[in-house]
Structure 1
Amino acid sequence: MHAHVILAAGQGTRMKSRLPKVLHPLLGRPMLAYAVEAALALAPERLVVVVGHGGEAVREALGGYPVVFAEQKEQLGTAHALLQAEGALKGFSGPILVTQGDTPLLAPDTLRALLAALKEGAGMALLTVELPDPTGYGRILREGEEVLANVEEKDASPEVKAIREVNAGAYAFDPFLFQALREVRNENAAREYYLPDLIAIYRAHGKKVVAVRGRVEEALGVNTRLELARVEELLLDRLRREWMLRGVRMLLPETIYLEPSVELAPDVTLGPGVVLKGKTRVGEGCEVGAYSVLEDTVLEPGARVLPHSVLQGAHLEGGADAGPFARLRPGAVLKRGAHVGNFVEVKNSVLHEGVKAGHLAYLGDAEVGAGANIGAGVITANYDGKRKHRTEIGEGAFIGSNSVLVAPVRIGPGALVGAGSVVTEDVPEDALALARARQRNLLGYARRKREGS
């Protein structure tokens, strides 16, 4: 068994944000969650997260994960941060993995390789990558697989600067770790304690230090908004490729945003600019039109969302469609064959089979029976200033354009509501409701008004 420590105490001043750096979102999840999930994939006996700046917010964000926390009260470098985990690892005598909270692309198989190096006799293993341009990184001096030193660029000779292998910031240590950490000195310009100094300390104690070569992207840390965007694009590209290889059609895939929590079926078609977030599930054969946004929404096989629609917490059965320019809010359910057209908003309402609301309507806190027709400009007035009330519209009812249904109210099956009505009382089955003033035509009135008489 092994333990794992994630260093997440840095302030991240280059992000120019009050939000702790490790909590900046990547595809809908905090950056730190990627490091935590990579660690958990190896089932460590203990997982410790070292927090500092914004520690309470970090603790709250990781509330659903099986982690324990240590605190770095003063920002005195990475070696000092790791030393703060000693108490949380009391009594543990196995190997320890150490990673950073701001390197979200580190893969579980790479962590396994670091642990394997310890099993093969190393006292310390560190992840390295070879960069086309290593400027700004510490260079790795090695002899075969064994690491001799990590040389910072400011201390490097021209020959050393030509080396492209750099330290990626992930480590595995044997139980000598905390004794070695106490030997780290802060004799540098920043007066901080740094993890790479452990290379010399381990070697001085006769322990072997080896390098494990990783993929270039695994070294990508996030210190600026620009780097955050770069990492997010790499994550997005992986997701898009994965789903396309599993049978999803993406039109202009580079414009599509989706999160890892989204589930897609084969033969789904996604138009340009589509955004899929949260627990959205899109069934086989569904179409999502250009520039639509779906969040925590379920589309059953055969449902369609037309362009420029926004669906949050909605559920569409097969054959139902919404849009273009539709807005479905939480609790909106469209049963089979229901249709919601342009500039229709639905909230906490069920539209049963074959319901049609073609345009310019608001249906909130309503139950609309099968086959009912909702005219243009119809609204359910569901809020009295204190409470929400329900509207029931029966099967086959026809609600004329520009009508207001003042809840609580029930429209019976097969009933008709005349256009422009304000309905405040229940309408019986198959009845016609007219709730508007009788029209009067005053002959010549308009001409007299123009002439001032």
Structure 2
Amino acid sequence: MKTSRAAIILAAGQGTRMKSALAKPLHSVGGRSMLDWTLALADAVGADRKVTVWGSHSPAVKEAAEAAGSATALQDPPQGTGHAVACAKDALGGFEGHAVVLYGDTPLIRPETVEAVFSALAHGASIAVLGFEADDPAGYGRLIEDGADGLDAIVEDREASEAERAIRLCNSGVLGAPVPLLFDLLSEVTNENAKGEYYLTDIVAIARSRGLKCKAVRGAQAEMLGVNSRSDLAEAEAAFQARRRQEMMESGVTLIAPDTVFFSHDTRIAADVVVEPNVVFGPGVNVASNVRIKAFSHLEGASLGEGAEAGPFARLRPGAELGANAKVGNFVEVKKARLGEGAKASHLTYLGDTDVGAHANIGAGTITCNYDGFFKHRTVIGEGAFIGSNTSLVAPVTIGAGAMTGSGSVITEDVPDNALALSRARQSEKPGWAQRFREAMQARKAKAQVRSKKD
């Protein structure tokens, strides 16, 4: 029988180095808050219970955690990581399973890495600590192993000896233990240290003094990046993007210039899609196979059917849906609009709150006038319709299947199937008017120049 699991997420830090009114855990990486990354990690490893520890300075963290299904516990005032974990005790009352301590500012840890922590507990460790071999260990707590596959202690950098500072195995902060044991050990932790705080890491030495087995689990340094500043946030974003680009290419997506393409945490792209340079994916994009997304396009909350094409310089906003083999070209913006199979809007068009039937053609400069200043209205364009260039479609309006609109028309009424709709002034000519106008203006300009010289 599988042991039940819990996650304690520490998110009560002040985050002063971010210099932001927004709480640090709510800053985003890959279009998702760091807190949501950690909550999703807890879900991915099957945590039956989640408790987010928040600080009185950041009630928005509490609100976000509870909205995501996590219980919350207040740490006030903050007195170190050990104190923060102890604050979760009441929220986990009666829970007998294993818990892992995670952090609301460490968004890159993979589920399989945390699974290794739980696996160590399942195989007899009383405490399992996630560590990593650091390129430069300065500033990190060191994991002191006993040489027999065991962990003897965790020593903070500022309190380490010279020999201990030479150790490159560093503490990530992630730690797992059975819940009853975790809180029992924490009850013995004191704040007799350089910072006067209760260190979570002290429970390792306490456990070892009781003869309990502790174990270090190794992970990749790239996953352990904690965010404390805007510079760290940019580094985390870059690391996420590099990882995501590699995953995309390994799954069969062609990125012509990988470093110029930016993904969101939930971007889904099928094999045999080509993404040209300088494309940005916001949250909520799904792309079917054999799609081509051309350069300098921005997509968010959009779906593209098989064989569709977007760009260059296309903007697909939330609710944009391109059917199979549909096409939107340069400087086309689509919002809450569906283009049916084979429909085309090749250039210079705005389609908002619109349904476009299969194989319809939208001419350059077409605008769906969807907003009256108070409400949004829909436009329906039937299958095989042909919308002439520079047409304004004033919603709510329906263009029938196979219907056409003349270029430059302003369409305010429904157009029947297979009809032609025209709405523009009759053309007239005034012979010689342009020449007379130019002569008169040239004469006026010459007089003005003479007066200017006299003055």
Matched, 1:320 2:326: yes
- The one-letter code of the counterpart of 1:20 is A
Trace 1:52-451 onto structure 2 (pairs within 5 A): 52=55, 55-63=58-66, 65-144=68-147, 145-174=149-178, 175-312=180-317, 313-330=319-336, 332-363=337-368, 364=370, 365-382=378-395, 390-405=396-411, 407=412, 409-418=413-422, 421=423, 435-436=424-425, 439=428, 441=430, 446=437
Q: 1:176-213 CA distances to partner (integer Å, 9 max, x unpaired)?
A: 22232222222334332221122232233333332222
- Structure 2's unaligned 5+ residue stretches are 371-377, 445-455
Deviation at residue 107 of structure 1 after TM alignment: 2.7
Q: Is the 8 A contact 1:20 1:53 kept in 2?
A: no
Q: Which moved more, 1:346-355 or 1:76-85?
A: 346-355
Deviation at residue 57 of structure 1 after TM alignment: 2.0
- 1:39 alignment partner, SS class: helix
- The one-letter code of the counterpart of 1:99 is L
Matched, 1:49 2:62: no
Q: Which moved more, 1:176-185 or 1:53-62?
A: 53-62
Q: Is the 8 A contact 1:11 1:53 kept in 2?
A: no
The CA distance in 2 between the partners of 1:217 and 1:323, in whole Å, is 39
The CA distance in 1 between the partners of 2:77 and 2:225, in whole Å, is 25
Q: Which moved more, 1:266-275 or 1:175-184?
A: 175-184
The CA distance in 2 between the partners of 1:381 and 1:95, in whole Å, is 61
TM-score by length of structure 1 reads: 0.87
- The one-letter code of the counterpart of 1:240 is R
The CA distance in 2 between the partners of 1:226 and 1:54, in whole Å, is 23
The count of residues paired between Structure 1 and Structure 2 equals 427
Against the structure 1 CA distance between its residues 360 and 152, is the aligned structure 2 distance closer, same or farther, given a 3 Å change threshold?
same
- The one-letter code of the counterpart of 1:279 is G
- The one-letter code of the counterpart of 2:142 is R
TM-score by length of structure 2 reads: 0.87
Of all paired residues, the percent bearing the same amino acid is: 38
Q: Is the 8 A contact 1:168 1:218 kept in 2?
A: no
- 2:130 alignment partner, SS class: strand
Q: Is the 8 A contact 1:299 1:315 kept in 2?
A: yes
Q: Is the 8 A contact 2:52 2:65 kept in 1?
A: no
Against the structure 1 CA distance between its residues 315 and 95, is the aligned structure 2 distance closer, same or farther, given a 3 Å change threshold?
closer
Matched, 1:23 2:26: yes
Deviation at residue 102 of structure 1 after TM alignment: 1.6
The CA distance in 2 between the partners of 1:336 and 1:110, in whole Å, is 43
Deviation at residue 359 of structure 1 after TM alignment: 1.3
- 2:46 alignment partner, SS class: coil
Deviation at residue 308 of structure 1 after TM alignment: 0.7
Q: 1:223-273 CA distances to partner (integer Å, 9 max, x unpaired)?
A: 122222222222222322222222211111121112232222221111111
Q: Is the 8 A contact 2:10 2:101 kept in 1?
A: yes
Q: Is the 8 A contact 1:10 1:53 kept in 2?
A: no
The CA distance in 2 between the partners of 1:216 and 1:239, in whole Å, is 17
